[in-house]
Amino acid sequence: MSDRTENLLLVLPGLLLLALAFFLPIFQMLALSVSGPGGPTLEHFARFLGDPFYLSVLWRTVKLALIITAVCAAIGFPLAYIMARVGPSLRLWLVIMVILPLMTSVVVRTFGWMVLLNRSGLIPQLFRDLGLAGRSFNLMQTETAVVIGMVQVLLPFMTLSILGVITRIDPRLEEAARTMGCSFLRTIGSVVLPLSLPGIVAGSLLAFTLSASSFVTPNLLGGARIQVLASSIYNSVTQTLDWPFAAAQAVILFVGVILVLIPYIKLTGRSDG
Amino acid sequence: MVKAVPTSIRIAAIVFVVLTALLLLAPLIVVVGASLTANQFVSFPPQGLSLMWYEKVLSSPEYLSSGLVSLMVALLVTVTATLVGGAAAIAIHRKQLPGSQVLASLFLSPLVLPTIIYAIGMLMFWSAVVGPVSLPVLWISHTVIAMPYVIRTTLAVLSESNPFLEEAARTMGANRMQRLWLVVVPQCAPGLAAGAFFAFNISFDEAVLSLFLRKPGMTTLPVQIYGQLEFSPDPSVAAVSSIMIALTIVLILVIDRLLGIKKFASA
Amino acid sequence: MANVRLEDIKKSFGNVKVLHGITLDIASGEFVSLLGASGCGKTTLLRAVAGLESVTSGSVAIDGQTVTELPPEKRDIAMMFQSYALLPHLSVSENVRFPLRMRGIGSREEQAERVKAALETVQLGHLAERKPRQLSGGQQQRVALARAIVSKPKVLLLDEPLSNLDARLREDMQVELIEIHKRLGLTTLFVTHDQEEALSLSDRVVLLNGGRVEQQGSPAEIYSRPATEFASNFLGSANIIPVTIESTDAGPVAVLADRQRLQLSQSEPVRGPARLVLRQEDLAIGKSGDIEGEVRTRVYLGARNRYVMVLAGQPVRVLSGNDHVFTSGEAVSLSIDPARIRVIAD
């Protein structure tokens, strides 16, 4: 046996698994999305893109994804900077704090928000106590709830992405800027922020794709009235049982995601863990 | 913190971190708190303290059976993802196959594809080619999405190992199998172990795939919880969720022991 | 113990030719150094003997048996790597036992005996149960050495094993290598870029340049009679001065660029344009002497001084003792024993 053969044998099971259980199903779904009783057809796509209801679903998905990404970036950048510049023991705690929500199940996290945001939850209670809202103030089933829930889910991704970049910025650059007369905030704005841009952009691309395709959180926090693309797909699969249509929607989502992911992969360009 | 930071900024930063901590951890704290309530409704803060909902969960046939399904799948997935992913990582690390870079990206692609798209694809494919969903499809699809984690952690460990060890072993008379088992595998053992625990966690917590690939009598724990949440949940949901959170914390601690969570501080 | 025969070894990596046809005979029990600068091919040659590199053409034979097609694990060799390459998950004694295990040498008890003996030889018996990461660099290198000798290989291959050690440790290890070689008499091939190391350890030195053998011989031969400019430069710190050699009644004389004249040894055959090789340590600097120059810089080396001076319009380096110190700008004289002047014809 040669080295080549040995490595081929090692990689083969994984390749087979990917080919048969990952790429093949996806291609099959692509095929299904253009299938019709009389042969290949674009009618499912036409149906989606021609119906104002579905277009509003698409628009809402994109809109929410943009808002969520922006909020994540706004919170993630300062958080990442703080994490990068504090001492190692504090950083460890912060990393754990950031990773913990990442590693809990999405249903568990979302459930927590349901408790917090519903009529008798702490947060509306707080608003009521502060006199900012009325008796029946309820944050559930609103787009705001979806944004809050998704931000918690995606903030770790954004933060870790930016953190990776900031840790490579030489702190002496900031020190130099300070000795040249920049205030602390000015230094952040004119030195750290531009240099962190690759991390922010990468994190944003990731956050956008994940929000646009998320299902559990918008469904539970938004309810039937706030439909995103993923919930529409779910309905087509489980309720109306219109699988080709579901496939078409999935393809639309897929294409949108690919368009965003290509710059992401170019930016991060890493394959080795 | 950094030197020469104005005090006002320092205070703002502390407040900011506290608020962010709340944002990130509040839902988890709330869930645990709500599970300890003594009355019939899900509320936070809990009213009265009691472990009765935990008792209820541990004696509920639905939770127990879905928990068992989750556990079995997760264990199966851990084994396959670690074996298959570990082997692939070793082969990729050696960089002797043409296009190792492309291979690595291929293997990591399930990480970037949104799960719902894969879930649909898998459901349609399986139904068309095999038939009704069953445990194997859960096992296979969870393995597909868990494998990249194993590959990533194993590659990370391998990239820091001494590249001459295999050569040294050859000059000492070790043949192919001996080199693999006695040199390479021990080298990536921490990566494999951490990957295994990641795989378990991913599979156990997985909701979207399991939601699409379920049938009556075969649901996983997260799906069971989801089902309850769609209607009117009682605190038993909080109890079972708290058990899941505890499980996650244990796994994080184990992974930190094995690899050092610091490594993931630079995702 | 075995002899090694390398026959016309050629090696190319893609289009790059690294070895241009090396033929070498290493006698049984001989300690041979492959000496040269980075990129000269010495490590490639060593790895070819090990079987870690294939050869484009040529053959390798160990103990009369052609091994060119055999992988390293099937050759009766042992190798010491620059980075030690100790298996980190095994203890020191398990590391040393590894070759015995892999090659199926001896029963468990015999293996334990041999491991013990090998560790005693390198004076690390007391650290047998430690893990490599608990050892210092020097100790790790000793373990690597113990691991290399424990299987009593036909050929011992050492790839710059001392390069990572600091100066004092290097000296100690060099002495140990000499003693171990005396004791065990293993056929040894040693790669280094350090000429002093090669000269002090070897029975024979093979100087490589650009994938070819520049010169080979005993340390004394190769040091006192370097055959080429490259060899002179590499072995000992030489100054190369362009001259014209004329015959005179007093014998051959080298005429420098500034028309100064330096007497050569009577038996020197070269005439016409040539180059003189004057070693730093062979030149004596003083107030009077054979030729004159001017001091530029003095470099203080502790026990000695190195002077960079100008002789016949070019920089020349001289090593000198500490008794008298010459300053920058001072006019001085250089003397040298004619027997120590090497002449290379142009």
- In order along its 346 residues, chain C shows pLDDT tens digits of 689 999 999 999 989 999 999 999 999 999 999 999 988 999 999 999 999 998 999 999 999 999 999 989 889 999 999 888 899 889 999 999 999 999 888 899 999 999 999 999 898 989 999 999 899 988 999 999 999 999 999 999 999 998 888 888 888 888 889 999 999 999 999 999 988 889 889 999 999 999 999 999 998 888 878 888 788 778 767 788 889 999 988 889 999 988 899 988 888 888 889 888 888 888 888 888 888 899 998 888 888 888 888 888 888 888 888 778 888 888 889 898 888 888 877 7
Contact residues, B window 162-191, toward C, CB-based 8 Å cutoff: 162, 164-165, 167-175, 178, 182-183, 186-187, 189
**C89 and B178: CB-CB below 8 Å?**
no
CB environment C164-194: b (16+ within 10 A), e (fewer) = ebeeebbeebbebbeebbeeeebbbbbbbbb
B 51-80 → A contacts, CB under 8 A: none
Any idea what the Cα angle at residue A142 is, between residues A137 and A144, rounded to 5°? 95
- Domain C4-229, what architecture? 3-Layer(aba) Sandwich (3.40)
How many Å lie between the alpha carbon of B146 and the closest alpha carbon of chain A?
Answer: 12
Show which residues on chain C lie within 8 Å of chain B, measured between beta carbons: 50-52, 71-73, 77-79, 81, 83, 85, 87-89, 98-99, 102-103, 147, 151, 157
Give the mutation candidate from B160, B165, B170, B172 for the C interface (greatest C CB count, under 10 A): B172
Could you tell me where the DSSP H helices lie in C51-136? Answer: 92-103, 108-121
Say what the ipTM of the complex is: 0.84
Q: Tell me if chain B has a CB within 8 Å of the CB of A147.
A: no
Chain B, chain C: beta-carbon pairs less than 8 Å apart: 59
- Of A209, A198, A200, nearest to A66 by C-alpha is A209
Taking a C-beta distance cutoff of 8 angstroms, is the pair A242, A166 a contact?
Answer: no
- Residues on chain B touching A161 (C-beta within 8 angstroms): 267
Kindly give, in sequence order, each residue whose CB lies less than 8 Å from that of residue C115, ignoring residues fewer than 6 positions away: C93, C96, C97, C100, C128, C146, C150
Contact criterion met (CB < 8 Å) for B172 and C157: no
pLDDT of residue A136: 62
pLDDT of residue B5: 78
CATH code, B61-266: 1.10.3720.10
Interface contact flag, B265 A163, Cβ < 8 Å: yes
Within 8 A of B189 by CB-CB distance, chain C residues are 89
The answer, for A45 touching chain B at a CB cutoff of 8 Å, is no
Q: How far is residue A255's CA from residue B114's CA, in Å, rounded to a whole number? A: 11
Query: Which is it for strands C342-345 and C16-26: parallel, antiparallel or unpaired?
Result: unpaired
Residue of C nearest to B174 (CA): C102
Cite the residue boundaries of each domain of chain C with CATH code 2.40.50.140.
238-345
Instruction: Please give the structure tokens belonging to residue A256.
Output: 């949108």
Question: What whole-number distance in Å separates Cα of residue C40 and Cα of residue C33?
Answer: 14
Interface residue B266 vs chain C (CB under 8 A) = no
> Over 60: is that where the pLDDT of B52 sits?
yes
Question: Which residues have a Cβ under 8 Å from the Cβ of C323 and sit 6 or more positions away?
Answer: none
The answer to whether residues B121 and A254 touch, using CB atoms and an 8 Å cutoff, is no
**Structural domain boundaries of chain A?**
43-268
Q: Which chains form contacts with chain C, at 3 or more CB pairs under 8 Å?
A: B
Residues of B in contact with A85 (CB under 8 A): 1-2
Q: Which fold has domain A43-268?
A: MetI-like fold (1.10.3720)
Q: Which of A60-64, B182-186, B258-262, C281-285 has the lowest mean pLDDT?
A: B258-262
B231 inside 8 A of chain C by CB: no
Interface contact flag, C89 B189, Cβ < 8 Å: yes
Res A273: pLDDT: 34
Flag if C71 and B165 touch (Cβ within 8 Å). Answer: no
Q: A127 and chain B: CB distance < 8 Å anywhere?
A: no
The C-alpha atoms of residue C316 and residue C342 are separated, in whole angstroms, by 15
CB < 8 Å to C73, chain B:
170-175
Long-range contacts of C39-44 (CB under 8 A, 24+ apart): C40/C208, C40/C209, C40/C210, C40/C211, C41/C11, C41/C208, C41/C210, C41/C211, C42/C191, C42/C193, C42/C208, C43/C159, C43/C160, C43/C191, C44/C11, C44/C18, C44/C19
Three-state DSSP class for C19?
strand
Among C71, C83, C88, whose Cβ lies nearest the Cβ of B170? C71
Which of A85, A116, A243 is closest, CB to CB, to B2? A85
CA of C175, closest CA in chain B: separation in Å? 24
CB neighbour class for B149 (10 Å; exposed up to 12, middle 13-18, buried from 19): buried
Per-residue pLDDT of B180-230, as tens digits, reads: 999 999 999 988 998 999 999 999 999 999 999 988 878 899 999 998 888
Question: Rounded to an integer, what distance in angstroms lies between the CA atom of residue C278 and that of residue C318?
Answer: 9
User: How far is B200 from B251, CA to CA, in rounded Å?
Assistant: 9
Q: Give the chain A residue whose CA is nearest to the CA of B256.
A: A96
* The pLDDT of residue B263: 55
Copy the structure tokens of residue C191.
């790669």
- Average pLDDT on A148-166 reads 91
Q: pLDDT digits over B199-208, tens only?
A: 999 999 999 9
Shortest alpha-carbon distance between residue C136 and chain B (Å): 17
Kindly report, residue by residue over B7-35, the tens digit of the pLDDT.
Answer: 888 899 999 999 999 999 999 999 998 88
Contact B160/C at CB under 8 A: no
| For C151, nearest residue in chain B (alpha carbons) | B172
For residue A115, how many other CB atoms are within 10 A of its CB? Answer: 24
Contact between A155 and B23 using a beta-carbon 8 Å cutoff: yes
The answer, for B120 touching chain A at a CB cutoff of 8 Å, is yes
Q: Do A3 and B94 touch (CB under 8 A)?
A: yes
Which of B28, B83, B125 lies at the smallest CB-CB distance from A112?
Answer: B28
pLDDT tops 70 at residue B261? no
Extended beta strands in chain B, E state: none
From B21, B42, B245, residue closest to A115, measured CB to CB: B42
Q: Do A160 and B9 touch (CB under 8 A)?
A: no
Which residue of B42, B91, B144 is in closest CB contact with A10?
B91
* Helix spans in chain A (H): 3-18, 24-33, 43-50, 52-85, 88-103, 106-117, 122-129, 143-166, 171-179, 184-187, 193-212, 216-222, 229-238, 243-268
Residue C248 token pair: 């005179």
What pLDDT score was predicted for residue B266? 40
Q: Tell me, which fold does domain C238-345 have in CATH?
A: OB fold (Dihydrolipoamide Acetyltransferase, E2P) (2.40.50)
CB A213, CB A229: distance < 8 Å = yes
- Cβ–Cβ below 8 Å for A13 and B30: no
